[in-house]
């Protein structure tokens, strides 16, 4: 079987070209100003710093500005909440990204939820999640929203399909399940403590690996002809799924790297551009 490669890298380049044109239009309407994505980095975690840098680079590629806010690891919850409020009140900022995770003992959920809904372009607020789950207007969490865009682009049938999402994080597994359900898939959410996990995965037409553990989902758990979405990325260039064991048996899969990752960043850019466009509509 020749599997369809769900190439997120190629699609993200195509989307960036489209976003560059939209930013150009916005610049004209905004008297030379461009949309701004504010990124907040708390602490000195090198991986988080790399991710923030990548997002800033993506902003520049499409002609958009980024505002990088860096705070020390001794920042308190109240200090971070105050900084978020300042960004909420800044009309030049159209999107706010608080890089996960923040240092302990900051109340990350309280800080996520302080982000204004209109600027929650990473889809991390409780209000945004609730509205998305109910099919109401809201920006979805960037990674699952990027996955949905990728699946739709390659015309992967979702309606009536049995999907198994392995992982239940509030910014990936849970919103992924809600988005698939809203697309009329029948969804089972599993996790590391799920009993008979291999048997449940074998029933799936669509498998989403979102657990955050390298190659935790074994190749022999996945049935022939399934669609495999691997949202993980770990040292050695592997994801959450044993992809090498299934590439010749499945109907479609996301490569690691080059599948889900590029779509996450491009989705963040796209939703920031949408936020700027909506802000001009009043």
Active site residues: 55, 99, 122
Could you tell me how far CA 209 lies from the centroid of its own chain? Answer: 14
64: alpha, beta or left? (left if phi > 0; alpha if psi -120 to 50): beta
DSSP-assigned letter for residue 5: E
The gap between the terminal CA atoms of the chain, to the nearest Å, is 51
- Rounded Cα distance between 32 and 125, Å, is 31
- Rounded Cα distance between 114 and 98, Å, is 11
Phi and psi of 264, rounded to 5°?
Answer: -60, -50
3-state secondary structure of 71: strand
Contact between 96 and 123 under an 8 Å Cβ cutoff? The reply is no
153 contact partners, CB below 8 Å, separation of at least 6? 11
| Residue 173 CA: distances (Å) to CA of 34, 149, 209, 220, 251 | 33, 16, 9, 22, 22
211 contact partners, CB below 8 Å, separation of at least 6? 166, 167, 173, 191, 192, 217, 232, 240
Q: Got the DSSP string for 215-261? A: T-B-GGGSPTT-EEEE---BTTTB-SB-GGGTTTTSSEE--TTTSHH
- The structure tokens listed for 19 are 């976003």
Q: How many CB atoms lie within 10 A of CB 116?
A: 16
């Amino acid at each position: 079987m020749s599997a369809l490669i769900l190439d997120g890298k190629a699609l993200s380049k195509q989307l960036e070209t489209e976003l560059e044109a939209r930013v150009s239009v916005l610049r004209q309407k905004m008297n030379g100003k461009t949309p701004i994505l504010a990124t907040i980095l708390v602490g000195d975690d090198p991986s988080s710093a790399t991710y923030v840098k990548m997002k800033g680079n993506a902003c520049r590629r499409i002609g958009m500005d980024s505002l990088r806010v860096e705070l020390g690891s001794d920042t308190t919850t109240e200090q971070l909440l105050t900084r978020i409020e300042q960004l909420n009140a800044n009309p030049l900022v159209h999107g706010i990204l608080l890089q996960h995770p923040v240092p302990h003992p900051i109340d990350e959920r309280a800080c996520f939820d302080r982000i204004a809904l209109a600027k929650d372009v990473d889809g991390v607020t409780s209000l945004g999640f609730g509205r998305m789950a109910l099919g109401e207007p809201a920006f979805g969490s960037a990674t699952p929203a990027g996955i949905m865009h990728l699946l739709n682009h390659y015309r992967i049938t979702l309606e009536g399909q049995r999907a198994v999402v392995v992982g239940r994080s509030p910014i990936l597994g849970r919103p992924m399940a809600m988005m698939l359900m809203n697309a009329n898939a029948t969804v089972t959410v599993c996790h590391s403590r799920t009993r008979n996990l291999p048997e449940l995965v074998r029933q799936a037409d669509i498998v989403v690996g979102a657990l955050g553990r390298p190659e935790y989902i074994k190749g022999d758990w996945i049935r022939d002809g399934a669609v495999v979405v691997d949202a993980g990325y770990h040292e050695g260039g592997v994801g959450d799924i044993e992809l090498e064991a299934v590439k010749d048996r499945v109907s479609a899969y996301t490569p690691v790297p080059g599948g889900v990752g590029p779509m996450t960043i491009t989705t963040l850019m796209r939703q920031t551009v949408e936020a700027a466009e909506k802000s001009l509509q009043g």
